[in-house]
Structure 1
Amino acid sequence: MEFGRLITAMVTPFDDQGRINWDETGRLIDYLIEEQKSDSLVIAGTTGESPTLSDDEKLELFRFAVDKAGERCKIIAGTGSNNTSHSIHLTQEAEKLGVDGVLLVVPYYNKPSQEGMFRHFEAIANSTQLPIILYNVPSRTIASLSVKTTLRLAEIPNIMGTKECASLEQITLLVSSSPAGFKVYSGDDSSALPTLAVGGYGIVSVASHIVGSTMKNMMDSYLEGDVRTAASLHQQLFPIFKGLFECPDPLPNPSAVKYALQLLGHDVGGVRLPLVGPNEDEVTFIKNLITSV
């Protein structure tokens, strides 16, 4: 399965009552595919506010996205959790709905050992025919999937890649040691170009909601050997990459990108508690940031 190099971790649009806004979800899918050039979309990942979505909402989102996207891009379902049996159930239900793959986060809060993480992902992989992308994000999960454990998992046929929010050193080690066909994606927008430079494959992005087409140009330029243009575009995009998360103090994702989308005319609504929207200073910062796009 080919998911492409630019994967957008899509926000979940809400109405003013905090319910999923299906009309806007459809418009957003069209926009991300047609205007921002996303190759694939992650539905109900962290950026989609997975912790506050019910299973029924997630499954309906998967169904809706598969139908709306059609053949235009791949749909990757966020079915990972810190409960192995629950992840298996959600993955199997997503498979029935026709998704193209799943993204499985490292189990959070219960802090499993490396062997526990291996068995967790192995059990899910054995329960489905779907391609799997692992998701290592130590800042959120505390537990971190080691290079050694990732490489063990890479030997499982349907585990085809990883989204890494660890260090560039870890990405480099994975790229240099992983089997043929195993794809290493950055999960940090500001590391998209450096990841390509050390042999990684692409990016699972938040900023691509706003600057996806330019990010695609940056990656294409690098892959075509035009390193100077790629570097220039990276420098141009860097304030967006950092600003959507620092804003000017750290603002939990996806609060900033949702507000940025609203400024650009996309009625994606706010975030669900315990997340909150940007305060007055953050609003001013995001407005100034978006005017630079």
Structure 2
Amino acid sequence: MDFGRLLTAMVTPFNQDNRVDFDQTTTLIEYLLSHGTDGLVVAGTTGESPTLSLQEKLDLFEHVVKIVNGRVPVIAGTGSNNTQASIQLTKEAEAIGVDGALLVSPYYNKPNQDGLYHHFSTIAKETNLPIMLYNIPSRAVVKMTVETVAALAQIENIVSVKDSTGDLDGISSLLEQVPEDFTVYSGDDSLTLPIQSIGGTGVVSVSSHIIGNQMKEMISLFEQGNVAKAAHKHRQLLPVMKALFMAPSPSPVKAALAYKDIDVGSVRLPLVPLSPFEEQNLYRLIDQYS
């Protein structure tokens, strides 16, 4: 399923009391939609899902769905390492009216491939939402193999994967084994163009908070056949993409948004804000390349 080319893994704005700031969430949504975003992923890792309560997630889903009002797809981060809890949250998100669910590989439990298959397939049976799998071994410790993702892709409502493995050979192999309408999104900003070049659909991006229009231009250039120009744009944007991960995400992108006068507040512990030195390095690169 094609959710669009440039999906933003949206940060969750907090106020000075460290509560979800819904007014700033509205401001952020409008900013992103006017800067190239084709869809929003809400309460994913970039949205600090590990430190959001269940009620905060539901309130956030409801607010985003209301403000977006059908203009772009809203994909809710409803996955966890607890299968039953993931089913419940997915069902509640579906009732709210989201357009899809992002299900991350179960972290910490370290299930084998059979366990991964049954985790995702069990959740899929309990919802009518289109599901995007999230394969991110750097955070989940476990890696879904190409064979596991390909098997899951045969389930009707498992329609996409956000791939953060960095394994271009594996992604190439996967694209040969999945149904034609199954989409593969890069989970790494810096691999957007390489993955697009082997048949990927787009990216679930953090950098699009800051360089959304430029990333959209890069993707469009490639689709139009202007490969050299797209590659040049990729090289131009790469320093900003890298800088936005100079510290655990989303600390850098929240600092960068503040620098652009989009106040989304700080991060919740155990994450911490950037140091003054890190901030100055980040601002310099934003001024230079964005």
The C-alpha deviation readout for 1:151-170, integer Å capped at 9, x for no partner, is 00000000001000111222
Paired with 1:208 and 1:170, the residues of 2 have a C-alpha distance of 25
**Corresponding residue for 2:26?**
26
Paired with 1:121 and 1:200, the residues of 2 have a C-alpha distance of 22
Q: CA deviation at 1:241?
A: 1.0
Percent identity for Structure 1 against Structure 2: 52
Structure 2 residue runs of 5 or longer lacking an equivalent are none
**Contact conserved, 2:2 with 2:201, CA < 8 A, in 1?**
no
Q: CA deviation at 1:280?
A: 2.1
**Corresponding residue for 2:162?**
163
**Matched residue type, 1:104:** L
Paired with 1:2 and 1:290, the residues of 2 have a C-alpha distance of 30
The C-alpha deviation readout for 1:153-196, integer Å capped at 9, x for no partner, is 00000000100011122211111221110001100000000001
**Corresponding residue for 1:275?**
271
Q: Say how many residue pairs are matched.
A: 288
Q: CA deviation at 1:91?
A: 0.0
Paired with 2:2 and 2:161, the residues of 1 have a C-alpha distance of 13
| Aligned-CA RMSD value | 0.8
* SS of 2:29 mapped into structure 1: helix
**Corresponding residue for 1:291?**
287
**Corresponding residue for 1:99?**
98
The C-alpha deviation readout for 1:237-290, integer Å capped at 9, x for no partner, is 0001111112xxxx1100000000000001100000000000122111111122
Structure 1 residue runs of 5 or longer lacking an equivalent are none
**Corresponding residue for 2:176?**
176
Q: CA deviation at 1:229?
A: 1.1
Paired with 1:57 and 1:22, the residues of 2 have a C-alpha distance of 11
1:3 partnered with 2:6: no
Structure 1 segment 86-235 matched on structure 2, within 5 A: 86-166=85-165, 167-235=167-235
**Matched residue type, 1:242:** K
**Corresponding residue for 2:42?**
43
**Contact conserved, 2:46 with 2:206, CA < 8 A, in 1?**
yes
* SS of 2:245 mapped into structure 1: helix
Paired with 1:284 and 1:255, the residues of 2 have a C-alpha distance of 14
Paired with 1:55 and 1:280, the residues of 2 have a C-alpha distance of 33
- Greater CA drift, 171-180 or 53-62: 171-180
Paired with 1:217 and 1:57, the residues of 2 have a C-alpha distance of 34
**Matched residue type, 2:187:** G
Structure 1 segment 261-272 matched on structure 2, within 5 A: 261-272=257-268
**Matched residue type, 1:245:** F
Poorly superposed stretches of 4+, deviation over 6 Å: none
- Greater CA drift, 141-150 or 281-290: 281-290
Paired with 2:219 and 2:231, the residues of 1 have a C-alpha distance of 10
Q: CA deviation at 1:217?
A: 0.7
Paired with 2:2 and 2:200, the residues of 1 have a C-alpha distance of 15
Q: CA deviation at 1:71?
A: 2.1
